[in-house]
Amino acid sequence: MIELIPAVDIIDGNLVRLQQGNYSAKTEYSHDPLEVAKQLEGVGIRRLHVVDLDGAKGGHIVNYKTLERIASGTQLIIDFGGGVKSDEDVKIAFDCGAHMITGGSIAVNRPQLFLSWLEKYGPEKIILGADIKDGKIAVSGWMEESDARWQTFLESYVARGVRKIISTDISRDGMMIGPSVELYRDMLLEFPGLHVTASGGVSCMADVEQLDDIGVPDVIIGKAIYEGRITYHEIEEYVSKTNHSLSGC
């Protein structure tokens, strides 16, 4: 069964959500991301997707102290992205408790640096960010669109050892209009050995089930949780059912 990965997007140390990557369309949900992370852990969540939006905009990690608080205050497995643009940024993120790093813009603009991280840390710790707008890869906190089509982009990196990606359909992010099921189906068919994490558009558990049906291994959910469209009770029930299924009981 598909794993649920809540998103914790950070601006000025606070938990926020944007719409379609638009920084001016920001909703703030909590002044204490650690407390939210603890609540999610309490209903059975194992993994968290933490994004430093200040870092994504500024070109270097900014909210590493918030990452450190969440990592030291929970047992959650954290993948971290946003502003990871240098060897020093990677070191800071890992030192502050990230288990995995996601690199998107850096993989477009400085591929050799990204590949050096992949070689040094391995494909289990370095995730490729493939954020898509109109069929092309978006960069710089989604404020710019590259010339790279997602198929060519993924083909190049899969050939070089990438095994995990997080892919967001930007047109759906924060909109709660349903995920891009066809996009992820195409990815899974074209790259059958790739671990694809879906992100963007999820509004309810029925959306999660759609992604599960096509074989997506995990999904990032943000606004639907914080707006109460997917409740903590639903998450707890789903996680319990998943664990029951995995145990074979």
Average of pLDDT values for 93-120?
96
| Residue-wise pLDDT tens digits, 20-57 | 667 877 899 999 999 999 999 999 999 999 999 999 88
- The backbone torsions φ and ψ at residue 52, rounded to the nearest 5 degrees and listed phi first, read -90, 95
Q: Can 212 be counted among the known catalytic residues? A: no
Q: Can 79 be counted among the known catalytic residues? A: no
- Please provide the average confidence, as pLDDT, over all residues in the chain: 92
pLDDT at 25: 78
Average of pLDDT values for 165-186?
89
* Locus of tokens 């194992």: 46
For residue 170, pLDDT beyond 90: no
Which residue of the set 9, 169, 173, 207 is catalytic? 9
For residue 140, pLDDT beyond 80: no
Which residue of the set 54, 131, 169, 173 is catalytic? 131
pLDDT > 90: what percent of the chain? 77
Please report which residue ranges of 43-166 form alpha helices under DSSP H.
Answer: 53-58, 64-73, 87-95, 105-109, 111-121, 150-158
DSSP label of 27 = E
- H or E segment to which residue 234 belongs: helix 232-247
Would you list the domain boundaries of the chain? 3-247
- The backbone torsions φ and ψ at residue 94, rounded to the nearest 5 degrees and listed phi first, read -65, -40
For residue 210, pLDDT beyond 60: yes
Q: CB atoms < 10 A from the CB of 208, how many?
A: 25
CATH code for the domain defined by 3-247: 3.20.20.70
pTM for this prediction = 0.92
